[in-house]
Chain A
């Protein structure tokens, strides 16, 4: 975790942080209520307001834990990462599709398990990396641990060769994590 803008232990900063996370959680929940309900009668709006208010009051530190300087930057970079991931998923899906419909599929596939050391240390970057590996066809994350060690089941050699590659650098850049490459 990066250091917050002000020392986190002063009471004013703590109160500001909790107010900020309360407002964010409340807006998020109420917007979700509006989308899911789709009715704009005063009674339903009031119920939604009450429900979002209560939930945000009790649980506001779960969703938006604090006001860090790096927080906004990494969420913006995360949303920039998603389109790239979708393009990768598309490309790799066509590879898997070709494999599935290929008449000599058993010659082409070569399932094996590889382990890669990434050096990622933050929880969010490990989760994102594991889910990205699983979403990219041809590879499934078997285990991932806190030291950034991933075990990956790959369907063929081509999928596992492309493995840490570009994705690791992107994930590490999104969350400001450092990367070590030990092959």
Chain B
């Protein structure tokens, strides 16, 4: 049982790190302002979900009131990131559109 939980925690943490790495690489590789926000805003959301879920499970292994409360707090972090990340992404895109920055499109199309 211990091994099962531990391996699940490790899977969560590693996949979270892969998502974070994807987000960072995406920010560098994408061509323009708007498309950079795609990996920045969303791969990070899933990354933090996976990492915090793994940590909360790890904390829940010693079943006590303190660890349950700690896990609940971690879930609150995920909840607020889940709410605020799309809102922040949207407002950055909105600011770009309002300022008149034209989105990058493929040259063969234009």
A interface residues (Cβ-Cβ under 8 A, vs B)? 35-36, 38, 89-90, 93, 96-97, 99-101, 105-106, 109-113, 130-131, 134-138, 140-143, 153, 155
In the complex, the answer to whether B43 meets A97 with C-beta atoms within 8 Å is yes
Partner of A105, one of B18, B29, B34, B46: B29
A-B contact pairs, 27 of them (CB 8 A): A38-B66, A89-B42, A89-B46, A90-B46, A93-B19, A96-B38, A96-B39, A96-B42, A97-B18, A97-B22, A100-B39, A105-B29, A105-B30, A109-B30, A109-B35, A110-B106, A111-B31, A111-B32, A131-B83, A131-B86, A135-B42, A135-B45, A135-B85, A137-B42, A138-B38, A141-B86, A143-B94
CA separation between A153 and B46, bound complex, in Å?
Answer: 20
> How many B residues have CB within 8 A of the partner chain?
41
- From the candidates A96, A136, A141, A142, name the one contacting B43 in the complex (CB within 8 A): A96
A107 and chain B: residue at smallest CB distance? B106
User: How many pairs, one residue from A and one from B, have CB atoms within 8 Å of each other in the complex?
Assistant: 100
Q: Which 5 A-B pairs have the closest CB atoms?
A: A134-B86, A100-B26, A137-B42, A38-B69, A131-B86
Chain B hits for A135, CB < 8 A: 42, 45, 82, 85-86
The answer to whether the Cβ of B61 comes within 8 Å of any Cβ in the partner chain is: no
